Amino acid sequence: MIQKLLLLAMAGALGTLARYGLARAVQRMIGMELVWGTLAVNVIGCFAFGLIMALASGRASITPEARIIILVGFMGAFTTFSTFIFETNQLLDQARWLHAAGSVILHNTVGILVLFAGLALGRSI
């Protein structure tokens, strides 16, 4: 049990570092502080989550323990709903209503679409 918890914690640490690195890279590339880095992380995370779930449920031999470590540990730390909400709140505080609404629509719509794409790809492999 301790070994599983340590693996879960290590996967979470790696997911956190991956999220931070990707979000910062996107923000530096685009030159914007809010939304785009988090959107990139969440889009990639939703796609990867769908892909891993489909693979784990289908042909791939991913143990239930490995699936928990990957999805709860790594992916749970990689994607971040709280950052999305915080950034949306910052846009609202700045009276950037259209940007806030666009962010909410974009995150949710694209997130659902790429989750479906990941599931479809995983099922076809």
Report the run of H or E that residue 55 belongs to, with start and end: helix 36-57
pLDDT digits (tens, 9 = 90+) for 60-97: 778 888 988 998 999 989 987 878 888 898 999 999 99
Domain hosting residue 114, numbered range: 2-124
What pLDDT score was predicted for residue 109?
Answer: 96
**CA 76/CA 59 separation, integer angstroms:** 23
Q: How far does CA 91 lie from the centroid of its chain?
A: 21
Residues 6+ apart with CB under 8 A from 13: 77
Average pLDDT rounded to a whole number, residues 46-62 = 85
Is residue 121 predicted with pLDDT exceeding 80?
yes
**CA 27/CA 20 separation, integer angstroms:** 11
What pLDDT score was predicted for residue 83?
Answer: 80
**CA 59/CA 57 separation, integer angstroms:** 7
Are the C-beta atoms of 47 and 111 separated by less than 8 Å? no
Task: Please state, rounded to an integer, the average pLDDT across all residues of the chain.
Answer: 91
Our count of domains for the chain comes to 1
Is residue 3 predicted with pLDDT exceeding 90?
yes
Average pLDDT rounded to a whole number, residues 32-43 = 85
What pLDDT score was predicted for residue 25?
Answer: 94
Report the run of H or E that residue 73 belongs to, with start and end: none
Pick the range with the lowest mean pLDDT from 3-7, 14-18, 29-33, 86-90: 29-33
**CA 87/CA 34 separation, integer angstroms:** 6
Is residue 16 predicted with pLDDT exceeding 80?
yes
> Alpha carbon of 114 to those of 10, 57, 117: distances in Å?
26, 18, 5
What pLDDT score was predicted for residue 84?
Answer: 87
